[in-house]
Amino acid sequence: DSGVTQTPKHLITATGQRVTLRCSPRSGDLSVYWYQQSLDQGLQFLIQYYNGEERAKGNILERFSAQQFPDLHSELNLSSLELGDSALYFCASSVAGYNEQFFGPGTRLTVL
Amino acid sequence: AQSVTQPDIHITVSEGASLELRCNYSYGATPYLFWYVQSPGQGLQLLLKYFSGDTLVQGIKGFEAEFKRSQSSFNLRKPSVHWSDAAEYFCAVGARSNDYKLSFGAGTTVTVRA
């Protein structure tokens, strides 16, 4: 158990819908990262937050957004969902950017 | 841009035999290097990391990795594989100049035969 929690574990929804994935980092960790894992793209970095502020952006679609709240939990919002958005979404946290990242168990999103 | 190559998509090894997984990275400055393991249906677990210093690093579950700057490699090794080591292994690279976000290799699936 890494100490990073993600909810829900599974999510099944339809095209065009919007979902919110939630992540609680390890106690004391200020940085939160979101990654997408799919069969065709592998593991891809989406976005990073540090102490409530966006720090870095990767291959994140405009239909996706995220935020980190004052209690340091983070949410990833996915809207106008397409079939291709079906993937495993991981959250990771670290004390600061230059430390190792600890991953949560992931949320498996299925878009039908 | 940083990138990671794991040349072997799939490796089959006998229980008790040694294992070596290859990882090559591309990055101009000194990278931070990691190996993660993912069991089916699970998240990623950190096996070991290299930031600086001794180029041979020890990790959990009996794994070690060696950083070779001249070869841009960070290969993972285990002297004697157990059936529970069957999983997918990912090499990752991060760097300060890239806000420490991780770039992952495509992964190597390890099958352990009895």
Determine the pLDDT at residue A1.
83
CA atoms within 13 A on the CB side of B67: 20
Q: Which residues, given as ranges, of chain B have pLDDT below 50?
A: none
Judged against a pLDDT cut of 90, whether residue A99 lies above it is answered with no
CA atoms within 13 A on the CB side of B86: 12
Determine the pLDDT at residue A3.
92
Judged against a pLDDT cut of 90, whether residue A96 lies above it is answered with no
DSSP chain B: --EEE---SEEEEETTS-EEE--EEE-SSPPEEEEEEE-TT--EEEEEEE-SS-SEEE-GGG-EEEEEGGGTEEEEEESS--GGG-EEEEEEEE-GGGTT--EE---EEEEEE-
Summarize pLDDT for A30-75 with one digit per residue, the tens: 999 999 999 888 999 999 999 999 998 998 999 999 999 999 999 9
CA distances, A103 to each of A8, A77, A80, B11, B33 (Å): 15, 19, 26, 25, 16
What are B76's two structure tokens?
């993972």
Residues 24-63 of B with CB under 8 A from A: 32, 34, 36, 42-46, 49, 51
Q: Does A26 touch chain B (CB under 8 A)?
A: no
Summarize pLDDT for A5-38 with one digit per residue, the tens: 999 999 999 999 999 999 999 999 999 999 999 9
Determine the pLDDT at residue B52.
86
The beta-carbon neighbor of B104 closest among A43, A55, A104 is A43
Nearest Cα of chain B lies from the Cα of A20 at a distance, in angstroms, of 19
Decide if B101 and A56 are in contact by the 8 Å CB cutoff.
yes
What are B69's two structure tokens?
């700057």
Q: Does B113 touch chain A (CB under 8 A)?
A: no
Q: Please return the burial class of B66, using the count of CB atoms within 10 Å of its CB with bins 0-12, 13-18 and 19+.
A: middle
Distance CA A21, CA B110 (A): 30
**Chain B residues touching residue A104 (CB < 8 angstroms):** 43
Q: Does A60 touch chain B (CB under 8 A)?
A: no
Determine the pLDDT at residue B16.
97
Determine the pLDDT at residue B3.
87
Judged against a pLDDT cut of 70, whether residue A97 lies above it is answered with no
Look at the alpha carbons of A10, A3, B94, B88 in this order and tell me if their dihedral is positive or negative. Answer: negative
**Chain B residues touching residue A31 (CB < 8 angstroms):** 100
Determine the pLDDT at residue B28.
66
Determine the pLDDT at residue B12.
97
Q: For residue B103, which amino acid is it?
A: S
DSSP symbol at A62: T
Determine the pLDDT at residue B96.
75
Decide if A56 and B44 are in contact by the 8 Å CB cutoff.
no
**Chain A residues touching residue B6 (CB < 8 angstroms):** none
Determine the pLDDT at residue B100.
75
